[in-house]
Amino acid sequence: MKRVLVVDDSPSVRKMVAFVLRQGGYDVVEAGDANDAITAAGFGDVRLVITDHHLPGDDGIALIRALRSKPHCAHVPIVMLTTEAGAELKCAARAAGATAWIAKPFDPQRLLSVVDKVLS
């Protein structure tokens, strides 16, 4: 089963994303901040990371950079799922290593479509 790490400081958003992904046949691990995400990704079985930009402590861009610095995460797709839509932030996310971008609020079918696409 493909394991997806969902990182968001909002428990309700994490649960909603996790629910959609589980309905799509994915195994989901959740984290509320960058430190927990790095720990969860450290087991090496995460196939995709979905992260918000606004996190307590390090933000989503810093998390992406940290994950990209780990050999086991260097090529794991990372999707930014956030309310932010500015071109500058999107460029920063891409430069840090983000694979895709989805704006909140998200459409469940669109989320699954993007996840399927980046994992294929």
Query: Which sequence spans correspond to the domains of the chain?
Result: 3-115
Residue type present at position 45: D
Report the CATH architecture of 3-115.
3-Layer(aba) Sandwich (3.40)
Q: What is the pLDDT of residue 91?
A: 93
Overall average pLDDT of the 96-111 stretch: 94
Max CA distance (Å), the chain: 35
Give the percent of the chain with pLDDT over 90: 86
Report the first-to-last Cα separation within the chain, whole angstroms: 13
Residue 9: pLDDT band (50, 70, 90) is: very high
Whether pLDDT at 44 is above 90: no
In the chain, DSSP finds a helix count (H) and a strand count (E) of 5, 5
Q: Place 94 in a pLDDT band, splitting at 50, 70 and 90.
A: very high
Sequence-ordered strand ranges (E) for the chain: 3-7, 27-31, 46-51, 78-82, 100-103
- A 10 A CB-CB count for 74 gives 10
Q: Average pLDDT of 5-22? A: 97
Task: For residue 97, give the DSSP letter.
Answer: T
